Amino acid sequence: MELAGKRVLVIGLGHSGRSAARFCALRGARVVAADARSLGELGEFAELGDDVEVCAGGPLPDPADFDLVVPSPGVPREQYAARATCVRGDIELAGLALQVPIIAVTGTNGKSTTVVLIEAMLRACGLRAMAAGNLGRPALDLVGEALDVAVLEVSSFQLEAVERFRPRVALILNLSPDHLDRHGDFASYVDAKRAIFRNQEGEDVTVLNQDDPTVRELAAQVRGRVLLFSRRAPLVEGVCLDGGAVLVRQGGESRRLSLDGLQLAGNHNLENVLAALAAVQGLGADPGQAVKALVDFRGLAHRCEPVANVGGVLFINDSKATNVGAAVSSLEGFSQPLVWIAGGRDKGLDFAPLADAAEGRVKTALLLGEAAPQLETALAGRVAVERVASLEAAVERAAELAVPGDLVLLSPACASFDQFTSFEQRGERFRAAVTSLAHRASSDAAAAAPAAAAPAAPAARSAAKGKESAPSLPRNPKDSE
């Protein structure tokens, strides 16, 4: 896309907006970057240079005055669509500028983990792969890098602003209601996701989840080659589980790949592994080499992240589970009895599926935040429920309720913005509370050890007889915690 001399309006000065402004300015565009937030709220943006005019803290410039509008993903279409003559999001611009095959991943849950898994697997195959997009690094930052493959996480917000985006391999992992406050209804949300394969041709590949009915039905609309993955059913063609291994079946040939080195916990992460291997297969790389990356892959922070084992109770940080579908997958992914911490800001989703997933698995649900009353109503009669005032109080109460062999799971099913600035901050606060709990338990055990080792006084021996000594704490499974 020729940008030299064009007037470009970039709306939003977050990471992707700043990246888009730099990209366009470097290609000779006259760029105005606008944000409703004040200069004080935005912080430093000296990296934009003198070629970008910044408008902050006031009304947005009229999109009709520009040749191109580049909206940040968080900017609703209502702010620009009616007046803009040409709209291209950062994903669209990246798709036009990158000169390497693109693997693009979308879905409601598991996107970030799958994208980074694919990156690791392709590197294990000897390819220069980099991950970017919605997970942190803006997609446009990959332009100019020495690459063989770009792996992009793409959100429904980003897909609203694409017209010609055509990935070599497109993945849709799963679809459940989310962001309905933005899209209006589930059908519109699904329609936004469909844009990931809309421009593909016959030689392109679309990877779909056979186990998700909504995703499976999209196969009839795909113009490229469909490659399925399944955790629950055998497949004649595609990638599926076979006991503790993966079967990769294509063109009448089968390969069985061991999962012995897998470090990720939860059934939902098995699905992410299958999807990533399907993407590798779809690109034409070697799944046998790719699977070797699993030995060293520990997953991402705040996504079913083990924090500490305290007295035989494992604490798991799944703060990224900001919707019902993610929390359901997390609850169903573990076989241990659960003490579940949930709640936050309601996103207008139906909480009823949580009761089905929690019943029989969750001993007690500890609810906090604005959505606690709605969650309590949804779980009534199915799961024992307690309200807690804060995340720290939830951790303390969970430690009282759990017994060795249990798992304490933070999987909120809600946004974080009622009490925190982001799901990352929520996860860090959970991690800090659990770490403090672990340190106190360790100190208490150390203080009790000398007394337990010393001979009992004569008068106390009879009283102590028959009593068990305090159990020793198991070693923390994560060296860094």
Per-residue pLDDT tens over the stretch 238-260: 999 998 899 999 888 899 999 98
Whether 115 and 244 share a structural domain: yes
Q: Does residue 197 carry a pLDDT above 80?
A: yes
- Mean pLDDT, residues 303-324: 93
Q: How does the average pLDDT of the chain come out, rounded?
A: 89
CB atoms within 10 A of CB 142: 22
Euclidean distance between CA atoms 296 and 119, whole angstroms:
13
Whether 41 and 138 share a structural domain: no
Q: Does residue 6 carry a pLDDT above 90?
A: yes
**Final residue in a domain of this structure, among 67, 88, 109:** 88
Q: Does residue 181 carry a pLDDT above 70?
A: yes
Q: How many CA atoms lie within 13 A of 356 on its CB side?
A: 8
The answer to whether residue 443 is domain-embedded is no
CATH code, domain carrying 13: 3.40.50.720
Whether 115 and 83 share a structural domain: no
Euclidean distance between CA atoms 193 and 184, whole angstroms:
14
- Mean pLDDT, residues 364-388: 97
Q: Does residue 478 carry a pLDDT above 60?
A: no
Whether 100 and 44 share a structural domain: no
Whether 95 and 226 share a structural domain: yes
382 to 89, 285, 353: CA distances (angstroms): 44, 47, 12
284-299 pLDDT tens trace:
999 999 999 999 888 7
Whether 186 and 211 share a structural domain: yes
Q: 450: pLDDT confidence band, cut at 50, 70 and 90?
A: low
470/379: higher pLDDT: 379
Q: Which residues are catalytic?
A: 111, 134, 179
Whether 162 and 229 share a structural domain: yes
Q: 475: pLDDT confidence band, cut at 50, 70 and 90?
A: very low
The domain total for the chain is 3
What is the b/e burial string over 168-186, where b = at least 16 CB atoms within 10 angstroms of the residue's CB? bbbbbbbbbbbbbebbeee
CATH code, domain carrying 388: 3.90.190.20
Q: Does residue 50 carry a pLDDT above 70?
A: yes
Placement of tokens 């990471």 in the chain: 15
CATH code, domain carrying 237: 3.40.1190.10
**Final residue in a domain of this structure, among 401, 420, 437:** 437
Q: 178: pLDDT confidence band, cut at 50, 70 and 90?
A: confident
pTM of the model: 0.79
CB 74 within 8 A of CB 12: yes
What the block records as the tokens of 101 is 């095959």
Task: Check residue 321 and give its pLDDT.
Answer: 92
The answer to whether residue 458 is domain-embedded is no
Whether 289 and 375 share a structural domain: no
The answer to whether residue 475 is domain-embedded is no
Q: Does residue 136 carry a pLDDT above 90?
A: no
Sheet with 52-56, side-by-side order of all strands: 52-56, 30-35, 7-11, 68-71
The answer to whether residue 481 is domain-embedded is no
What the block records as the tokens of 36 is 């409703």
Q: 479: pLDDT confidence band, cut at 50, 70 and 90?
A: very low
Task: Check residue 474 and give its pLDDT.
Answer: 30
The answer to whether residue 416 is domain-embedded is yes
Euclidean distance between CA atoms 207 and 197, whole angstroms:
10
Q: Which of the residue ranges 1-15, 297-311, 367-381 would you say has the lowest mean pLDDT?
A: 297-311
- Mean pLDDT, residues 119-137: 95
Q: Which of the residue ranges 72-86, 181-195, 220-234, 457-471 would you say has the lowest mean pLDDT?
A: 457-471
**Final residue in a domain of this structure, among 261, 276, 295:** 295
Task: Check residue 333 and give its pLDDT.
Answer: 85
The answer to whether residue 14 is domain-embedded is yes
Beta strands in 210-335 (DSSP E): 225-230, 238-242, 245-250, 253-258, 305-310, 313-317
Q: 458: pLDDT confidence band, cut at 50, 70 and 90?
A: very low
Whether 311 and 270 share a structural domain: no
Q: Can you say whether the dihedral through the CA atoms of 310, 344, 420, 18 is positive or negative?
A: positive
Whether 84 and 97 share a structural domain: no
Euclidean distance between CA atoms 224 and 202, whole angstroms:
4
Q: Which of the residue ranges 33-42, 44-53, 172-181 would you say has the lowest mean pLDDT?
A: 44-53
Q: If you compute the radius of gyration of the chain from its CA atoms, what whole number of angstroms results?
A: 25
Euclidean distance between CA atoms 297 and 151, whole angstroms:
17
| Containing structural domain, residue 367 | 305-437
The answer to whether residue 284 is domain-embedded is yes
Whether 286 and 340 share a structural domain: no
Q: 7: pLDDT confidence band, cut at 50, 70 and 90?
A: very high
What the block records as the tokens of 302 is 């705040």
Q: Which of the residue ranges 355-359, 414-418, 461-465 would you say has the lowest mean pLDDT?
A: 461-465
- Mean pLDDT, residues 80-109: 95
- Mean pLDDT, residues 370-377: 97
Q: Does residue 261 carry a pLDDT above 70?
A: yes
Q: Does residue 462 carry a pLDDT above 50?
A: no
Q: Does residue 406 carry a pLDDT above 80?
A: yes
3-state secondary structure of 398: helix
Whether 229 and 151 share a structural domain: yes
Task: Check residue 338 and give its pLDDT.
Answer: 98
29-45 pLDDT tens trace:
999 999 988 887 887 77
The answer to whether residue 231 is domain-embedded is yes
